[in-house]
């Protein structure tokens, strides 16, 4: 009995013991699973997959504290249109940032941090009350007394008015912005950009991680990955230059960034470092933008290699030729005042040739046409040979070397520098709209133009043609115009009056309602010019403008030209000349066809690779592209 009773007690005890063991094991397993599930949940909440291979920061107050979470709200004022969207995306997705009110635009274009974190209440308050709405103020030159007009004249060192440069990149970088959009290419360095973004973020986190004693291994990994990416990027410009194992390196860097972002740290350190790197990147982008604009400007002002080759070959061939006295047979026509005389200032063989050819092709009677091409000594012999080899119906062409004239001029170097018409880009406020600014490209006479009465003493009237025009209709009707007491027949722009240029013209007396005028096609009464002695008036005004500290000869020339011909402009009908083919992409095709003269004023000349493609055809059809010298020099405008 005892034995049986004792066995029963033993069995019950064993059962109770087994139940306790199972319960303990269950609790142990549960105690392990709950933290594991919690950790996995936090991990997924912190690091959701991103299509770009990066991880957005979404810290919660439970994991790292309310003070931390209150200082990482991400938004950045994206009012700058010229800022790279790619950088904005990186800052928005990858970095702890501050609130939308953290940045305000100041008058000088810099970014001021105005956010102050209130740790006690977990919110941010702005310093100094409500910020003033941003705007840009461009101060006038000290020697200008009137600042009421919004005007900017490029070609000088000083800018007038109040134009927000971020609203219209053309006002800041000219036609370069339009040309860049026209010739935008597909991205060939997407992986390069991704690596740079990873390097950007890793550099931001590294200083904070390095300060954590428990993260020595992660610090070494970050430093090693940063060094590897720096080495790769220093040797690679496009994705094709990257090594085959770059995918693994990128993945290692991404893993290190994920681990770094999961570490609790002082957000202010990361935020400060990100701001420093972002400022450096923004400065670098601005530098490259300005450098690109400068190189573009240099490209449009430099003669292409093919045209330089053409000029050199023609010069060499000229001295090999036996016909050195090519123009003696027609010398009597050069000074005949009864003929139609056209004057062209140019150092470009092709450009001057197209002007003459297009004029002759649309003229009903060419025997009475005489073209005088004024150039410098460097291009003189090339011009002589070119116009000897190429005939233009019955028209006569005379080539003159401006350096051979014994004219009273104080500075011969300046004379050569001012051989061609001077172009300016003028920005002014549009009176029809309170929010839109307009830009106008003006061409003005150079210093050399004011020597015409001294060079052509026997002529009473001439038509001046710039070398960047194409003639589409007969110009003989110009000679029948009665200009009365006016001197210069030109196309006017009454949307730009001298009153709008008041702050630029200074204290000089002028009619505020007078319209600005354009060179390109000009009918000039030389007899009336001599009677009024306009050359003397121009030189006096030019000296006065230079004496008040004007930054450039060109700027003084524009002022003096506008004031010299005040009230002496005979307004030609607008159909005579259409300007803008060297900068305006929006010209109507029918308007182009109806114009008598097309003026390629602006930087995008038709003989340059940078020229606007859809306007080039009007210029190229008057070029003899089968010429031997064009083929030898690979001239294909």
Q: If you write DSSP's letter for every residue of 552-599 in order, what string do you get?
A: -HHHHHHHHHHHHTTT-EEE--GGGEEE-TTT-TT--HHHHHH-SEEE
Other CB atoms within 10 Å distance of the CB of residue 420: 19
Asked if residue 470 lies in contact with residue 552, where contact means CB atoms within 8 angstroms, the answer is: no
Of the chain, the end-to-end C-alpha distance in Å amounts to 122
Asked if residue 456 lies in contact with residue 462, where contact means CB atoms within 8 angstroms, the answer is: yes
What gap in Å lies between CA 191 and CA 241, rounded to an integer?
Answer: 11
Q: Averaged over 544-551, what is the pLDDT?
A: 62
Three-state SS for 229? Answer: helix
Asked if residue 566 lies in contact with residue 508, where contact means CB atoms within 8 angstroms, the answer is: no
Top mean pLDDT of 37-41, 237-241, 448-452 is at 448-452
Reported as a pLDDT band with limits 50, 70 and 90, residue 543 is: confident
Q: Averaged over 143-150, what is the pLDDT?
A: 34
What gap in Å lies between CA 86 and CA 73, rounded to an integer?
Answer: 20
pLDDT at 71: 34
Percent share of the chain, pLDDT over 90: 32
Q: Averaged over 59-64, what is the pLDDT?
A: 35
- pLDDT tens digits for 443-453? 889 888 999 99
pLDDT at 113: 37
pLDDT at 490: 95
pLDDT at 140: 30
- pLDDT tens digits for 370-419? 999 999 989 999 999 999 989 899 999 999 998 887 666 555 555 555 67
Does residue 526 have a pLDDT over 90?
yes
- pLDDT tens digits for 63-75? 333 333 333 333 3
pLDDT at 480: 92
The least confident of 32-36, 154-158, 441-445, 479-483 is: 154-158
pLDDT at 110: 39
Average confidence score pLDDT of the chain: 74
Does residue 318 have a pLDDT over 80?
yes
Does residue 161 have a pLDDT over 70?
no
Asked if residue 372 lies in contact with residue 342, where contact means CB atoms within 8 angstroms, the answer is: yes
DSSP annotation of 161: B
Q: Averaged over 428-435, what is the pLDDT?
A: 57
- pLDDT tens digits for 273-317? 778 777 877 888 888 888 877 777 777 777 888 999 999 999 999
pLDDT at 128: 38
Does residue 182 have a pLDDT over 50?
yes
pLDDT at 382: 95
Asked if residue 574 lies in contact with residue 592, where contact means CB atoms within 8 angstroms, the answer is: no
pLDDT at 286: 81
Helices 305-320 and 377-389 pack at an angle, to 10 degrees, of: 70
Asked if residue 126 lies in contact with residue 113, where contact means CB atoms within 8 angstroms, the answer is: no
| Predicted TM-score of the model (pTM) | 0.62
Q: If you write DSSP's letter for every residue of 22-35 in order, what string do you get?
A: HHHHHHHHHHHHHH
DSSP annotation of 156: B
List Cβ<8 Å contacts ≥24 apart for 161-164: 161/427, 161/428, 161/429, 161/503, 162/135, 162/136, 162/137, 162/138, 163/136, 163/138, 163/427, 163/437, 164/135, 164/136
What gap in Å lies between CA 522 and CA 532, rounded to an integer?
Answer: 18
- pLDDT tens digits for 348-363? 999 999 999 999 999 9
Q: Averaged over 332-360, what is the pLDDT?
A: 95
- pLDDT tens digits for 187-234? 667 888 888 888 888 888 888 888 888 888 999 999 999 999 999 988
Kindly list the distances between the CA atom of residue 180 and the CA atoms of 185, 296, 603, in Å, as whole numbers in the listed order. Answer: 9, 10, 13
The least confident of 46-60, 170-184, 282-296, 617-631 is: 46-60
- pLDDT tens digits for 107-129? 334 333 333 434 334 433 333 33
Does residue 544 have a pLDDT over 90?
no
pLDDT at 468: 94
Reported as a pLDDT band with limits 50, 70 and 90, residue 142 is: very low
> Over 430-487, what HEC string results?
CCCCCCCEEEEEEEECCHHHHHHHHHCCCCCEEEEEECCEEECCCCHHHHHCCCCCCC
Top mean pLDDT of 63-67, 168-172, 391-395, 497-501 is at 391-395
Q: Averaged over 578-605, what is the pLDDT?
A: 92
Q: Averaged over 568-572, what is the pLDDT?
A: 94
Other CB atoms within 10 Å distance of the CB of residue 155: 17
The least confident of 23-37, 206-220, 372-386, 524-538 is: 23-37
Q: Backbone phi, then psi, for 148, in 5-degree steps?
A: -80, -10
DSSP annotation of 344: E
CA angle 316, 400, 309 (to 5 degrees): 30
Does residue 432 have a pLDDT over 70?
no
Percent share of the chain, pLDDT over 70: 66
Top mean pLDDT of 27-31, 275-279, 316-320, 595-599 is at 595-599
Q: Averaged over 252-260, what is the pLDDT?
A: 90
| Higher-confidence position of 246 and 120 | 246
pLDDT at 146: 37
Q: Is the dihedral of CA 269, 271, 275, 281 positive or negative?
A: positive
Q: Give the HSE-up count for residue 282: Cα atoms under 13 Å, Cβ half-sphere.
A: 15
pLDDT at 40: 55
């Amino acid at each position: 009995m005892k034995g049986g009773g004792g066995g029963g007690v033993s069995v019950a005890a064993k059962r109770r013991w087994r139940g306790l063991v199972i319960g303990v094991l269950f609790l142990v397993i549960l105690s392990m699973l709950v933290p594991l599930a919690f950790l996995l949940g936090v991990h997924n909440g912190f690091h959701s997959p991103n299509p770009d291979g990066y991880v957005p920061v979404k810290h919660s107050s439970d994991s790292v504290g309310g003070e931390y979470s209150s200082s990482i709200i991400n938004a950045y004022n994206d009012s700058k249109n010229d800022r790279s969207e790619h950088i904005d995306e990186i800052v928005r997705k990858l970095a702890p940032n501050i609130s939308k009110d953290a940045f305000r635009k100041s008058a000088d274009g810099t970014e001021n941090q105005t956010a102050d974190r209130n740790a006690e209440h977990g919110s941010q308050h702005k310093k100094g009350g409500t910020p003033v709405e941003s705007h840009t103020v461009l101060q006038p030159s000290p020697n200008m007394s009137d600042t009421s007009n919004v005007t900017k004249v490029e070609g000088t060192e000083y800018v007038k008015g109040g134009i927000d440069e971020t609203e219209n990149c053309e006002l800041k970088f000219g036609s370069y912005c339009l040309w860049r959009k026209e010739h935008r290419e597909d991205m060939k360095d997407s992986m390069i950009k991704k690596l740079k973004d990873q390097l950007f973020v890793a550099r931001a986190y590294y200083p904070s991680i390095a300060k954590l004693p428990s993260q020595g291994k992660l610090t070494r990994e970050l430093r090693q990955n940063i060094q590897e990416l720096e080495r790769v990027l220093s040797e690679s410009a496009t994705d094709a230059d990257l090594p085959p194992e770059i995918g693994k390196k990128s993945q290692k860097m991404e893993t290190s960034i994920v681990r770094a972002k999961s570490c609790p740290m002082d957000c202010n350190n990361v935020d400060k470092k990100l701001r420093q790197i972002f400022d450096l990147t923004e400065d670098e982008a601005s530098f490259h933008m300005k450098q690109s604009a400068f190189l573009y400007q240099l490209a449009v002002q430099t003669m292409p290699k093919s045209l330089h080759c053409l000029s050199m070959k023609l010069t060499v061939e000229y001295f090999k030729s036996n016909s050195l006295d090519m123009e003696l047979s027609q010398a009597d026509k050069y000074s005949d005042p009864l003929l139609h005389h056209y004057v062209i200032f140019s150092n470009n063989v092709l450009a001057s040739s197209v002007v003459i050819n297009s004029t002759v092709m649309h003229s009903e009677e060419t025997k009475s046409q005489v073209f005088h091409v004024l150039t410098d000594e460097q291009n003189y012999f090339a011009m002589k040979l070119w116009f000897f080899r190429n005939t233009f119906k019955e028209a006569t062409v005379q080539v003159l070397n401006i350096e051979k004239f014994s004219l009273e001029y104080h500075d011969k170097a300046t004379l050569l520098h001012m051989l061609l018409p001077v172009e300016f880009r003028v920005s002014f406020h549009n009176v029809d709209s309170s929010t839109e600014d307009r830009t106008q490209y003006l061409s003005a006479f150079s210093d050399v133009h004011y020597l015409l009465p001294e060079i052509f003493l026997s002529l009473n009237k001439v038509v001046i043609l710039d070398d960047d025009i194409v003639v589409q209709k007969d110009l003989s009707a110009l000679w029948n115009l009665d200009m009365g007491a006016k001197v210069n027949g030109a196309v006017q722009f009454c949307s730009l009056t001298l009153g709008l240029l008041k702050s630029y013209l200074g204290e000089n007396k002028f009619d505020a309602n007078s319209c600005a005028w354009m060179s390109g096609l000009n009918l000039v009464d030389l007899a009336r010019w001599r009677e009024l002695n306009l050359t003397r008036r121009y030189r006096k005004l030019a000296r006065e403008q230079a004496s008040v500290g004007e930054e450039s000869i060109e700027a003084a020339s524009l002022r003096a030209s506008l004031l010299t011909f005040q009230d002496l402009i005979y307004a030609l009908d607008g159909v005579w000349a259409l300007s803008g083919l060297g900068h305006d992409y929006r010209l109507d095709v029918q308007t182009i066809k109806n114009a008598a003269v097309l003026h390629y004023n602006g930087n995008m000349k038709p003989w340059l690779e940078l020229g606007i493609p859809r306007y080039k055809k009007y210029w190229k059809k008057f070029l003899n592209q089968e010429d031997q010298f064009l083929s030898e020099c690979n001239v294909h405008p």
